Amino acid sequence: MSEIDEFRNRIGQALATIAAGIEELGPVPVATGIDPAEVETLRRDLAEERIVQAQLEERIRVLKDRHDRKVAELEAALATERDRIGSLDHAVQRLRQSNADLRELAGQLRAALDEEIADPALVNRAMLAEIEALRATRAADLAEIEAVYDALRPHLGEAM
C-alpha cells in the first residue's frame, strides 16, 4: 500500500502545483484569444477532477483499513492455530514417550518371564507405564477433538 500512498501524494502535489499556477495566472484576458467559456469549462473540469481525486483517496483509505483489519484477523487466527498445533504436538510427544516406556517395560517383563523370575517392582513399573500411556492417549485424543471442534465451530453457527 506504500506505493499507492506515494502515487496519491505525487498526484496531490501535482494538482496543487497546477492549481497554484492557475491561481497565479488570474483571470485570462480576452485579448489573448482564449475563450472565457472554455476557461470556465476547464475550471469546472478541474474542480470535478479534484472531487474525483478526493473520492478515490477515500476509497483507498477504506480499502487500506479493511485490508489492515483482515491482516490482523488472519494473524490472530494464525497465532491461535500455532498454539493449537503446539498443544497437539505436545500431546503426541507425550504419547510417543509413554508408549516407548511401555514397550521397554514389556520387553523387560517378557525377559523376566522367560527366566521365570518374579519381580513385583518390575510389574508395578509396567502397570504405572501402562496407566501413563492411557493418560497420554486420552490427552492426545482430547487435544485432537478440541482441534476438530475449533475448526468446525465457525461452520456450526448458532447450533452451538
The total of structural domains in the chain comes to 2
Whether the per-residue pLDDT at 21 is higher than 60: the answer is: yes
Whole-angstrom Cα distance, residue 154 to residue 160?
Answer: 10
pLDDT score, position 67 = 96
Residue 92 makes CB contacts below 8 A (sequence gap 6+) with: 140
Q: 38, 68, 98 — which closes off a domain?
A: 68
For residues 36 and 102, state if they share a domain.
no
Range(s) of the domain holding residue 99:
80-160
pLDDT of 108-139, one tens digit each? 888 887 788 878 888 888 888 888 888 888 98
CA-nearest of 107, 151, 106 to 129 is: 106
- Percent of the chain past pLDDT 70, that is, above it, reads 93
Whole-angstrom Cα distance, residue 153 to residue 144?
Answer: 14
Whole-angstrom Cα distance, residue 77 to residue 129?
Answer: 37
The whole-model pTM stands at 0.51
C-alpha torsion angle, residues 23, 26, 28, 32 (rounded to 10): -100
